[in-house]
Amino acid sequence: MKVLHVIASVDPRDGGPIEGVFATSKIWLEHGHEGHIICLDPPDAPWVQNSPVQTFAMGRESRLGRVLSRIWPWLHGYRYTPNLLPWLMSNAENYDALIINGLWNYASYGSWRALQKLNVPYFVFTHGMLDPWFNTSAPIKTIFKKIFWKLCEHKVLRDARGVMFTCEVERRLAAQSFSPYIAREFVVGFGTRDIDGNQETQRAAFAAKVPEVRNRKFMLFLSRIHPKKGVDMLIQAFADQAARFPELDLVIGGPDQTGWKSELQQLAKTHGVAERIHWPGMLAGDAKWGAFRSAEYFVLPSHQENFGIVIAEAMALGKPVLITDKVNIWREVETDGAGLVVDDNVDAIIKGLDEMCALSPLEREAMGIKARKCFLNHYNLENNAMMLLQLMPRLSTSAEIP
């Protein structure tokens, strides 16, 4: 089978969706199937040049697009390019299916425009972009989204052979955001590949990045440094419990895409914990896996999180996780005993940190074993990617609404 992924960007700093596309495509290739990518990046972008999957980059901003983006800055993020439509019209029929990854950029609506005229089935992964949380956190942008949804975007879901959700919570939330909402909904597995490599090499790679914690215990946050991730709450909660657990530091890894890091560092200084918080930036490869392996546990206190591949990665390595109930896979984590689930406020996170830090080594090891089982049961992409590949041909020939 030959599948084309459509996505706004292949920049790895964008997190889970593109990492999932890379991993899924590699698994399919190992089983004799092809996965390619078309994106809205400019062809000379370094992440396009370094993409591990064959990638066709369509980015070229038109003169009209430049003018409109000055009037309405949101259009710059929409990433309209005139190259997408003709490329798809000429090449889409070389593929057995297309997967549109994400909404609210020209990759989705531009693909829909092309595929209306072609006999190629397509599927949509919303990747949490229909979560109602965004409507309340960005009310001005939501006004424009409602207009765009009624005019254009709802058609992308309506005409898809399947709209895929990574968990049941995401599916239920998606229908609450905008109207009209018509979709052939399916909950499919997602996750990450199991992680291998030399443990000592990985630990050493991380220690080289953050030598300050070489002989220290630490909790790990690893994600984009973004307001929805709750990093400010984590710093405040860590400051509250720091005196009770003086042996423990905090590592906050990830790209600072919004320029928030300096404000967070000042917050840490104000609370007197700046020396115990470490900021290695984006971690990749052995350094990333070494961070997970070296941490006592993983924490992601998000206000909204569709899936959180980093959570699956932590559990794959047998690390307990502390997450909020705004992470859509929290039920599975809680049911399997893979970690602790708290509300997304400072007091709740303080309580969670206290409980996690108070665990004995044996209790933490037992929770880590359960975390590993949770990964194997739900989030092993080796199994889930092949299940998706088998599902798409069936849905392509079925007209029944589930």
pLDDT band, residue 67 (cuts 50/70/90): low
**Cα four-point dihedral sign 175, 180, 184, 190:** negative
Taking only the tens place, the pLDDT of each residue in 246-292 is 999 999 999 998 899 999 999 999 999 999 999 999 999 999 999 99
Q: Residue 183 to residues 148, 161, 255, 315, 390: CA-CA distances in angstroms? A: 17, 9, 34, 32, 20
Q: What is the pLDDT of residues 304-336, one digit of tens each?
A: 998 889 999 999 999 999 999 999 999 999 999
Tokens representing residue 194 in the block: 């199991």
pLDDT of residue 400: 46
Mind listing the domains of the chain with CATH numbers?
A: 2-193+381-397 (3.40.50.2000), 199-379 (3.40.50.2000)
Q: Give the whole-number percent of the chain exceeding pLDDT 70.
A: 95
Closest CA to 58 of 32, 27, 90, 34: 90
Mean residue pLDDT of the chain comes to 92
Alpha-carbon span 45 to 307, nearest angstrom: 27
Closest-CA residue to 379 (of 190, 195, 183, 127): 190
- The amino acid occupying position 289 is W
How sure is the predictor about 397, in pLDDT bands with cuts at 50, 70 and 90?
confident
pTM value is: 0.85
Q: What is the pLDDT of residue 140?
A: 87
Asked whether residue 70 carries a pLDDT value surpassing 80, the answer given is: no
Smallest CA-to-CA distance from 101 within 179, 204, 214, 15 is with 15
- The pLDDT confidence band at residue 36, using thresholds 50, 70 and 90, is very high
Residue 391's alpha-carbon distances to 26, 387, 395, in angstroms, are: 18, 6, 6
Which tens digit of pLDDT belongs to each residue from 335-350?
999 999 999 999 999 9
**pLDDT given for residue 11 in this prediction:** 94
- pLDDT above 70: residue 76: no
Please identify which residue in the block is written with the tokens 């939501």: 142
**Which of 78-82, 218-222, 240-244 has maximum average pLDDT?**
218-222
When pLDDT is averaged across residues 379-395 and rounded to a whole number, the result is 92
- What six digits make up the tokens of 133? 């949380």
Q: In the block, which residue shows the tokens 């001005």?
A: 140
> Is pLDDT above 90 for 401?
no
360: pLDDT strictly greater than 60: yes
Q: What is the pLDDT of residues 7-34, one digit of tens each?
A: 999 999 887 789 999 999 999 999 999 9
DSSP for 24-91, written as a single string: HHHHHHHTT-EEEEEESS-TT-HHHHT-SS-EEE-----HHHHHHHHHSTHHHHHT--TTHHHHHHHH
Chain centroid to CA 64: how far? 32
> Side-chain half-sphere of 252: how many Cα atoms within 13 Å?
27
Residue 308 has a pLDDT of 87
pLDDT of residue 75 exceeding 80: no
Q: Determine which helix (DSSP H) or strand (DSSP E) holds 6, and give its type and residue range.
A: strand 2-7
What single DSSP character describes residue 309? H
What digits encode the pLDDT tens for the residues 121-159?
999 999 999 999 999 888 888 998 999 999 999 999 999
